[in-house]
Amino acid sequence: MLGSLEDILDAIVLIKGSKNDAFGSGFAIKCDHEGSWIITCAHVVKAVSVAEDSCKAKDIKVNGKPAEVLACGTFETVDLALLEVKGLFLPTLTISPVGQFGLPCNIVGGTELNDKEHLKRVEPLDGSLGRAIYLTTGDGKSTKAWRLEIESKTKLEEGYSGSPVICASTLHVMGVASIAEYEGDRGFAVSITHLKDIYPKLPSDLLCAQLSPSVLSWEKHTVLEDIFRIPPISEEELRTLCQQVLPKSEPHGIPVGAGFLDLLDWLFDRGRLPDGRVPLLAVLQELAPKLKDQETRDKLDHYIELVATHFGINDLSALTLPQLEETPDSPALMLEIWPTSSQGNQYNLHGKVYFSTERVFIACVREDETALNVEDDSDVTDLMVEIKEKLESFGVNENNVVIEFILPLGQLSWPVEQWKNDLDEPIGIISTVVVRSRERYRNQSFITRWQHGWKTLCRSYDNALEQRLSFLAEDDWRQVRSQLQAGNGIALRFVPDLDAPIRPSEKNIVNYMLNVGVPVALWPRDREGLDGFIAQLNNAPISQLPLKELPSITRDVRRQLWEQKEENSPGYHLTLLWDDPTRCLADKPKHDDEFYQAPGQA
């Protein structure tokens, strides 16, 4: 990627032919050992060539070298053309279908100085994007374009047709200058999105799908407020669409009196999370036809395009609102905890609450990400009270919620199910508490093994536990290792301490388990009376239960022993690793640290 506007000048070319003195500009988007691909306007190709069919033109030259037309639209439809010039090696520009009303831009094109020597003057013009418009032909087809507002003393002169329109902040090409008017003070630029219309085989890696944070922020705080300041449809219509994404959404995060901006802000935040993107785009596509003002519809269409590009979604026509169950899944609270530093007991916390089968996130816990002292009982209790209040504000009882702790590998043995609420009761007897591995979703080799393990687990033995829950003797390291390597015993109940090594490799037993992708593990943190408890479990219905019921059964075992005041029973100290890769993951923390490597990695 070119790093400055000055660098971009070297990617600009002059396009001429044999027909007359007509010329235009272009720019390189691809360069390999054979040559370069050049984008220009279709009307430039037609103007410089004698060929009746512009797609078959053979007399075009780019910087004096012969060019082949790979694809060419027309001035009346898509005013874009793609040329290939062998033997011409140029720096390339990044193209990205991102644009926004008022966004500062530069139009970089050339005017000819000397015809014989093919000299050109390349000069960037300062400007900004005006309103998005659609240029419509008689057959009903339309091409998206941007108005160009020129702010430089130099105007859009002859020769600027085919020039790239470049975002001043990202230096990405958003469009191609096509038409000048008002003596060059204004013009139009065809959106670069239409390049695929004339050349469907365009390699996907040429189209940048990344946006800068400033562009996203611009979209959120300017476009949405501008579009819906005077809404052309009712709030109730928008609310209905929101509820199609999240059934029974009134008690789950959308306030009864929410206005348009609140709802759209809510939708936008959902769309910035990976698992919220399809519902967001689908609901906005449902919304767009209801907008009566064409200019407002155009803005919303652009916003949909922007979000789709950001998330790498190429086929918008394939997006539909998800068909959800009438009743959402059990509410879940996901808490990701990671060390503030390599020493001490201070940990940062990031939490999300989500409710539906589409796993749409609703709210953050401790949005200020203040450090959590896990050894301070009052700090932990305050957190649990905060969580309880947050859930109650959504109309959710803590008895019905699953709390998923995403923990660093070294903290998987934390007694999180023993953390107390304001009534001095362990949360593990009230809510369904499971732990998940934070390292698991940071390493692609981990992810691959993890997903394979989960699929294997879910397919085996009609989803019953009998063949998948293994009880291992304390010193039976060989059995641990062989079962893991063979892919058997996908769900393992570990008798040894979590920190015990697996000989001879001396790997931490949980580390090894995570490396090979075991998604479910059950272990007690107190081995006193363990033999009797194992026998009890072997004879209990737990071995016949569907896998999905294991978390709630684990909670019920703890609750029963709490009520019987048998806190010394190993069953009271059960910890369940329940690492389902199909469920949402919390946002990554703002820093990275070192993670355990998968087997065989250097």
Residue 41: the pLDDT is: 92
Model confidence at 27: pLDDT above 90: yes
Would you tell me the crossing angle of helices 235-245 and 277-287 to the nearest 10 degrees? 150
Model confidence at 133: pLDDT above 60: yes
CA quadruple 483, 486, 487, 492: dihedral, nearest 10: 0
Would you tell me the crossing angle of helices 235-245 and 260-271 to the nearest 10 degrees? 30
How far apart are alpha carbons 255 and 563 in whole angstroms?
A: 38
Residue 367: the pLDDT is: 55
Q: How far is CA 396 from CA 25, 354, 363, 410, 552, in A?
A: 61, 11, 13, 32, 17
| Highest mean pLDDT: which range of 91-95, 386-390, 567-571 | 91-95
> What percent helix, strand, coil does the chain show, rounded to 5?
35, 25, 40
Nearest Cα neighbor of 80 from 4, 22, 29 is 29
Structure tokens at 577: 């690793």
Instruction: Quote the DSSP letter at residue 485.
Output: H
Model confidence at 295: pLDDT above 70: no
Average pLDDT, the chain: 67
Residue 595: the pLDDT is: 34
Model confidence at 237: pLDDT above 50: yes
Model confidence at 182: pLDDT above 50: no
Q: What value does the mean pLDDT take over residues 428-436?
A: 90
Structure tokens at 524: 């007690």
Q: What angle do CA 348, 334, 304 make, to 5 degrees?
A: 100
Residue 40: the pLDDT is: 93
The residue ranking higher by pLDDT, 75 or 479, is 75
How far apart are alpha carbons 361 and 332 in whole angstroms?
A: 10
List, as one string, the DSSP characters of 573-592.
Answer: GEEEEE--TTS--PPPPSS-
Pick the CATH number of 332-437 from 3.30.420, 3.90.105, 3.90.380, 3.90.320: 3.30.420
Structure tokens at 411: 């903290």
45-59, 256-270, 331-345, 564-578: range with lowest mean pLDDT: 256-270
pLDDT band per the 50, 70, 90 thresholds, residue 82: very high
How far apart are alpha carbons 352 and 585 in whole angstroms?
A: 9
How far apart are alpha carbons 474 and 484 in whole angstroms?
A: 16
Where do the domains of the chain lie?
Answer: 5-206, 213-318, 332-437, 466-576
98-112, 225-239, 535-549: range with lowest mean pLDDT: 225-239
Q: What value does the mean pLDDT take over residues 554-581?
A: 81
Architecture of domain 5-206: Beta Barrel (2.40)
Residues in the chain: 602
Q: What are the residues facing 561 on neighbouring strands?
A: none
Q: What angle do CA 35, 38, 44 make, to 5 degrees?
A: 140
pTM: 0.45
How far apart are alpha carbons 127 and 165 in whole angstroms?
A: 9
Residues 6+ apart with CB under 8 A from 510: 409, 412, 413, 494, 498, 521
Half-sphere exposure of 20 (CA within 13 A, CB side): 5
pLDDT band per the 50, 70, 90 thresholds, residue 32: confident
Residues 6+ apart with CB under 8 A from 539: none
How far apart are alpha carbons 84 and 266 in whole angstroms?
A: 46
How far apart are alpha carbons 475 and 462 in whole angstroms?
A: 31
Determine phi and psi for 594, rounding to 5 degrees: -80, 140
Q: How far is CA 192 from CA 176, 177, 597, in A?
A: 7, 10, 42
Q: What are the residues facing 473 on neighbouring strands?
A: none
Determine phi and psi for 413, rounding to 5 degrees: -90, 5
Cβ(439)–Cβ(595) below 8 Å? yes
Place of tokens 């990976």: 274
Residue 250: the pLDDT is: 34
pLDDT band per the 50, 70, 90 thresholds, residue 188: confident
pLDDT band per the 50, 70, 90 thresholds, residue 280: low
Model confidence at 584: pLDDT above 60: no
How far apart are alpha carbons 372 and 123 in whole angstroms?
A: 56
Would you tell me the crossing angle of helices 294-310 and 277-287 to the nearest 10 degrees? 170
How far apart are alpha carbons 559 and 551 in whole angstroms?
A: 13
Cβ(156)–Cβ(126) below 8 Å? no
Q: How far is CA 498 from CA 394, 518, 528, in A?
A: 37, 14, 15
Extended strands (E) in 97-141:
104-114, 119-136
Structure tokens at 161: 């047709």
How far apart are alpha carbons 340 and 370 in whole angstroms?
A: 10
Residues 6+ apart with CB under 8 A from 552: 432
Sign of CA dihedral 67, 70, 76, 78: negative
Distance between first and last Cα of the chain: 31
Percentage of the residues of the chain whose pLDDT score is greater than 90? 5
